[in-house]
Amino acid sequence: MPNCRECPYMRVTGYANVTANNRYRGKHPRGDCMCEHPRAAEVFRRLFPRSNRMACFIGFTSMNDNKPQIKTCPKWCPLKNPEG
């Protein structure tokens, strides 16, 4: 089963704004993890046609980390659904 934490298509695309609430002794705030697989958006929209969620979004990182907090992969993962 694919694992987003080790997948070459997973990218951290941005970090939360640093505010007084998330500034902890030099740690980076949480980041946004996205899937950059060429078929990710297509498979997501095929499985969830009426969803308003952001396609290709995997999850957030914990503070000062660059890996998503999920342990496996989302249902729409193109590596998990090769036929779509």
Asked whether residue 34 is domain-assigned, the answer is yes
DSSP 16-70: PPP-TTS--TT----EEEEE--TTHHHHHHHH-TT--S-TTEEEEBPTT--SBS-
Give the structural domain span for 80: 1-16+27-55+70-84
Give residue for tokens 């980041």: 31
On the CB side of 43, CA atoms within 13 Å amount to: 19
pTM for the model: 0.77
Instruction: Judge contact between 10 and 78, C-beta under 8 A.
Output: no
Kindly report, residue by residue over 3-41, the tens digit of the pLDDT. 898 999 999 988 877 666 656 666 677 889 999 999 998
Asked whether residue 47 is domain-assigned, the answer is yes
Give residue for tokens 């009426």: 50
The number of domains in the chain is 1
- Cβ burial of 53 (10 Å; 0-12, 13-18, 19+) is exposed
pLDDT at position 75: 87
User: What are 70's two structure tokens?
Assistant: 């999920």
Asked whether residue 65 is domain-assigned, the answer is no
